[in-house]
Amino acid sequence: SVIDAAIAALEDVNRYPDSLASGLVAEIAAQCQVQPDNVAVGPGSVALLQQLIQISSTVGDEVLCAWRSFEAYPLVTVLNGATPVTVPLTEHERHDLPEMARQLSQRTSVVLLCTPNNPTGTSITTEEFRQFMQQVPSDVLVVLDEAYAEFVRGEQYVDGLREWSQFPNLAVLRTFSKAYGLAGLRVGYVIGHPDLVSGLRRSTVPFTVPAIAQAAAIESLRRRPELLARVELIVAERTRVLERLLDLGLTVEPSQANFVWLRFGERHQEFLDACSNAALSVRPYGDEGVRVTIGEPEENDRFLDVAARFLSSAHGHCQ
C-alpha cells in the first residue's frame, strides 16, 4: 500500500512538493498527539540533526555526546565548526549521564542523547533522563535521538513524546528509516516546542521532503497496525536471539533496538571471518565490537549457528 501511494505521487512530479509538508505534519501530529506547530519534518533525521546543530552551534561551541554512539554525531558537529566532546559509555554500554552532566561547560551548545543507542542497543531510563535534564542549563539544546523508538519495550525507558512538553530546550528526533522501512525515501521529524520547530522551519532548505516521500510516509502512518505487527515480530526475535546468546555464555546487554552488540576482544577478526565464511553480513566498528541486525527467523538461526560453532571452537578468552 505504501509503494502504491508513492507510485501514485509520481504522477505529479512536474510540480514542486508542498514545502510545509502540511499533510504529513498533520498526520504525524495526530499520531504523536501533539499540535502541528510541534512538528518539523526533513529529509531523514540525520538532516534534521545537522540543522539542529547548525542553528544552535558555531565555532568555539562544544557538542556533547556519548561514545560509542551514532557515528554521524562528531561529523555533523565539526561540519558546523563546533567541537565534539565525547563521554565513554559505562561498562554496561550505557550513556554515563552523571559524567555527561559533569562535562557540561559554558561552551556546551548541544547535548546529543541516543536512545536506544546505536550501536549498543541500550536505552536511557525516564528517571536518568529527568535527573540529567535538571542539570542542563535552559539555553543548551538537548537532542533525544529516538531513531529506534518503535522497538523499545519496557516502561522504565524514556519516551520523548512524554517529555518534550516539559522542556523547551528538548528536540525529540524520529525517523521513517528504521521501523517504517522507508530509509530510501528520506523522511525524519522533530517533535518539540513551537519556538524550536519554527527555528527549524525558517532555517531549512525549501522543498526538502519530496512529494513521493511525503505520500509514502502519510500512507505508512495510516497503516500503522501493519507496521506494529512487523515490529512485534522483530522484538520477539530479538528476545529469542538475546536469550540464546546468553545461553551460549556471551556477555550481551539487553538491546532495545533491532540489533545486538557483541564484543569478542582478541577474537574480533576471527568472528568477522566466521560470519563472512557463512555469508552473513554483520557490521564491525573498528576492532571494538560488532553490530548484528535482527533479521528474519531463518537468518537469525544462521547467525546463532555461526555464533555457537564459533564459541565451541574457542581457544582464547571471549568477552
Binding interface with ligand PMP (CB under 6 A): 44-46, 70, 114, 118, 145, 147, 175, 177, 183, 188
Which residue lies nearer to ligand PMP by CB, 2 or 114? 114
CA atoms within 13 A on the CB side of 136: 28
Which residue lies nearer to ligand PMP by CB, 182 or 307? 182
Name the helix (H) or strand (E) containing 190: strand 188-191
What whole-number distance in Å separates Cα of residue 28 and Cα of residue 10?
22
Shortest Å distance, C-beta 132 to ligand PMP: 18
Shortest Å distance, C-beta 312 to ligand PMP: 33
The C-alpha cell of 196 is what?
524550536
Positions of E strands within 193-300: 259-262, 283-285, 289-293
Shortest Å distance, C-beta 39 to ligand PMP: 15
In the β-sheet with 188-191, what is the strand arrangement from edge to edge? 39-42, 188-191, 170-175, 141-145, 108-114, 62-67, 83-88
In the complex, residue closest to ligand PMP by CB: 44
What whole-number distance in Å separates Cα of residue 237 and Cα of residue 14?
43
Which residue lies nearer to ligand PMP by CB, 183 or 314? 183
Shortest Å distance, C-beta 209 to ligand PMP: 12
Start-to-end C-alpha separation, the chain:
45
Work out whether strand 188-191 and strand 39-42 pair parallel, antiparallel, or are unpaired.
Answer: antiparallel
Which residue lies nearer to ligand PMP by CB, 143 or 197? 143
CA atoms within 13 A on the CB side of 260: 25
Which residue lies nearer to ligand PMP by CB, 148 or 167? 148
Shortest Å distance, C-beta 309 to ligand PMP: 30
Residue carrying the nine cell digits 576471527: 270
Shortest Å distance, C-beta 269 to ligand PMP: 24
Name the helix (H) or strand (E) containing 30: helix 22-32
Which residue lies nearer to ligand PMP by CB, 32 or 306? 32
Whole-Å CA distances, 300 to 177, 237, 286: 21, 8, 23
Shortest Å distance, C-beta 160 to ligand PMP: 13
Name the helix (H) or strand (E) containing 98: helix 97-102
Which residue lies nearer to ligand PMP by CB, 26 or 72? 72
CA 268 vs. chain centroid, Å, equals 25
Shortest Å distance, C-beta 224 to ligand PMP: 18
Which residue lies nearer to ligand PMP by CB, 62 or 145? 145
Rg (CA), the chain: 20
